Chain A
């Protein structure tokens, strides 16, 4: 029997009754009291477990922090939680939509949207004082940013060491900009110095400008160091946007992880099925003037083949029709205007955003004599040339009294007429998104393409990176725990050996095998639970200490893992609870085997055991 007061020294009646009823509370009490019997051994083992849990918590919080930095401190400012991208005429850099109001209409009635901003960035060559380098000009809407509730976050990400964000909108300064400390150093410029920049505007024209350094910011992210902030309206003007045009739009929304995909789907659905691009014009030829409808026709190989099959030409050739600016008219209209293939005529139409009509001279490539022509007053134009006209001067809606043109629904022209825009399919990971933009780069579309995507989809690789980091962490911690668990098994074996006669006694007075096993498992469970709790606290303390350290990385990509020069951790309840449950689960499973061995001993053998 126990030399000192044994936790198993219970009154037989009480013990039998309680254990016989599988009083779980009693088992818990017994387990807890047994833990205290070997304080030093359990404290040492628990410490090892706590260190393991602390490492797991810190590593998990760090990898989650990386994702948070990438998504919420970089991607959010670059693409927004949800991005609506426009690319005109296959130009990957030509991010423009000619009707700003129409684009923003698609966002109306969405309470989840906190902000909708135009997103503009442009590579430029900058010349400072005797030094030159590449920069990225980024438009920032300071007025909007000043009202934002998360202004503090912006200031944390781009800390100003000189000047203020308000200076960017100072009309007294010539193109005021905020530049990173590193870039200012490289270009040898200080506050109020002038940087000359050259870049290509939205349409590929060479543009030059003088920028005044109004502020200098410090940013630890190496990828953000080339960024130079310029007030959005000034940047739009420099890049050639007109007031009614918009760049791609980035949305900041509530609870993005939960809502982004659904919101993107809804916006995508609203933009689906654009109508045909139509110009209501008046055509003038030698013989007369007549109201006409100008439509673009697709010029991909499949469409060319279909159109060639639908129409019978009385003059001209399809080869000329499908060249840029190629125009085809039906015979009656050609007669009214007094033109035939090879002749020119003018069209004039009211513009949507500017006063005065737009006039253009068109060259008749062919005249259609028979076939399934889409309308008697319709002029068909090859899409590349048509979009040049359509986008440069957006046409006004038809005046009252003029019936809006409707493409015959049952005919083939619905798929052959150039649409107002081309909506790209939704993609859900980085690879598919990349492929989609490779398609754009192949000039597949002559019109403006619209893409709707969330930052989780365009940068799904970041989520993969987080998963990989977590797997690496868990693998490393599991190796550590394998060593710790050897200690657990060894400790249990020693405990069982030391308490063999005690096990015999309790078994002799009625404790069941299952209860003996459960008691040892509960001992391990509580040891791991207490160790995990301490480990979590140690993890938080470690994160606090680590985040107090300041780093000053210069030109080091690892700087992007820092926030304000400090390591960034983002512990999550799920991450921590998952780690603790994993450790407890492994420990309990490991304890089950020696516990079963103890439970399977016969009382007679156990009582006769001498060490």
Chain B
């Protein structure tokens, strides 16, 4: 579920990046791309493989409004999750449970639906404010140019500037030509590799590149991985009534 953030944030990307430096400019460029220009809706499928537990497929509808960073997630599959949903408007974040037909307020550090995602993961904060370049003892950024398969990329390391982000250290591989993020390694505070993400396939929507297929590998608990596929992305003004409790309730009727 935490992947959801990583999956959905690129929907907000704009691919106009500046080639004016190394780590900081790339982070700033990514931040610029986070700025949403239009409301958006999409369908998201998560295929989760858990060691010894088989495969679970989760389908959901995602609606986002740019004016106040509101969003709505409606679960469509599996059957036992169908009709459940998550709604955030302003500082309020609710979870809706169809079997009890109740809304539950979610705290920013509370787990969502027993997954590893937290409400705080959905807060939109600038990457540039959260992370900065890692520099070695000589003050040089840990930045290199290399090949990721056949693609020329920039590889650079960032560390958290604040202490309330999921991963205090990350390594990014971004395309040299357009700064698209292709691979991301996330490390724990103690330096253990926790997760590797691959952004496998992009599609261009209104001049922005959206990663429509992504692979997340759990490096800590081997055998766990998640494939995320985004489809039917439709940018454009969404009706305000979508972002209400009543709408979520009515969906279930």
Contacts and interface: CB of A to CB of B under 8 A. Distances in A.
A207 B190 CA distance: 6
Contacts of A374: none
Interface in A193-248: 196, 198, 200-201, 203-209, 238, 240
Contacts of A207: 188-190
Contacts of A132: 51, 221
B141 interface: no
A204 B167 contact: no
Interface stretch (A51-59, A85-93, A268-276, A471-479): A85-93
Contact of A205 (B105, B189, B220): B189
Interface in B75-114: 91-92, 105-110
A444 to B, nearest CB: 10
B17 interface: no
Contact of A209 (B167, B168, B190): B190
A556 interface: no
16 contacts: A90-B108, A196-B220, A198-B220, A200-B109, A204-B118, A204-B164, A204-B165, A205-B160, A205-B163, A205-B164, A205-B165, A206-B167, A206-B189, A442-B105, A443-B107, A443-B108
B163 A198 contact: no
A208 B219 CA distance: 11
Interface in B190-233: 190, 192, 194, 220-221
Contacts of A443: 91, 107-108
A208 B107 contact: no
Contacts of A392: 163
Interface of A: 90-94, 125, 127, 132, 196, 198, 200-201, 203-209, 238, 240, 388, 392, 438, 440-443
Nearest to B223: A132
Contacts of A196: 220
A221 to B, nearest CB: 24
A240 B163 contact: yes
B221 A206 contact: no
B166 to A, nearest CB: 5
A93 B106 CA distance: 13
A438 B167 CA distance: 28
A157 B113 CA distance: 34
Contact of A201 (B108, B118, B189, B220): B189
B94 to A, nearest CB: 10
B129 to A, nearest CB: 9
B163 A208 contact: no
B109 A91 contact: yes
A213 to B, nearest CB: 19
B184 interface: no
Interface string B122-166: 000000000000000000000000000000000000001011111
Interface of B: 51, 91-92, 105-110, 118, 120, 160, 162-168, 186, 188-190, 192, 194, 220-221
Nearest to A204: B164
Nearest to B224: A132
A204 B120 contact: yes
Contacts, number: 77
Contacts of B108: 90-91, 443
Contacts of B221: 125, 127, 132, 198
Contacts of A201: 189
Contact of B186 (A127, A206, A388, A440): A206
A206 B109 contact: no
Contacts of A438: 105
A208 B166 CA distance: 12
Most buried by A among B106, B108, B118, B166: B108
Given A209-B190, A441-B105, 13 more contacts: A93-B109, A93-B110, A132-B51, A200-B118, A200-B166, A203-B163, A205-B160, A205-B168, A206-B167, A206-B194, A238-B190, A392-B163, A441-B107
Contacts of B110: 92-93, 441
Contacts of A442: 92, 105, 107
B166 A198 contact: no
A346 to B, nearest CB: 16
B242 to A, nearest CB: 23
B15 to A, nearest CB: 28
Contacts of A238: 190
Nearest to A442: B105
A360 B92 CA distance: 29
A440 B110 CA distance: 12
B91 A208 contact: no
Contacts of B160: 205
A496 B41 CA distance: 92
A91 B107 contact: yes
Nearest to B125: A324
Contacts of A91: 107-109
B164 A208 contact: no
Contacts of A240: 163, 189
A203 B163 CA distance: 6
Top 5 closest pairs, chain A to chain B, by CB: A208-B192, A441-B107, A208-B188, A203-B163, A203-B164
Nearest to B123: A324
A384 to B, nearest CB: 10
Given A127-B221, A196-B220, A198-B220, A205 B109 contact: no
Most buried by A among B107, B194, B221: B107
A125 B164 CA distance: 20
Most buried by A among B110, B186, B188: B188
A127 B109 contact: no
A44 to B, nearest CB: 57
Most buried by B among A94, A205, A441, A442: A205
Contacts of B118: 200, 204
A388 B108 CA distance: 15
Contacts of B166: 200, 204-206
A240 B194 CA distance: 18
Contacts of B192: 208
A322 to B, nearest CB: 12
Given A198-B188, A203-B164, A206-B186, A90 B107 contact: yes
A466 B91 CA distance: 41
Nearest to B187: A206
Contacts of B51: 132
Contacts of A198: 188, 194, 220-221
A361 to B, nearest CB: 11
A125 B222 CA distance: 13
A485 to B, nearest CB: 49
Contacts of B168: 205-206
B220 A208 contact: yes
B107 A127 contact: no
Contacts of B92: 442
Most buried by B among A201, A238, A388: A201
A449 to B, nearest CB: 13
A197 to B, nearest CB: 9
Contacts of B163: 203, 205, 240, 392
Contact of B109 (A94, A209, A388): A94
Contact of B188 (A90, A127, A206): A206
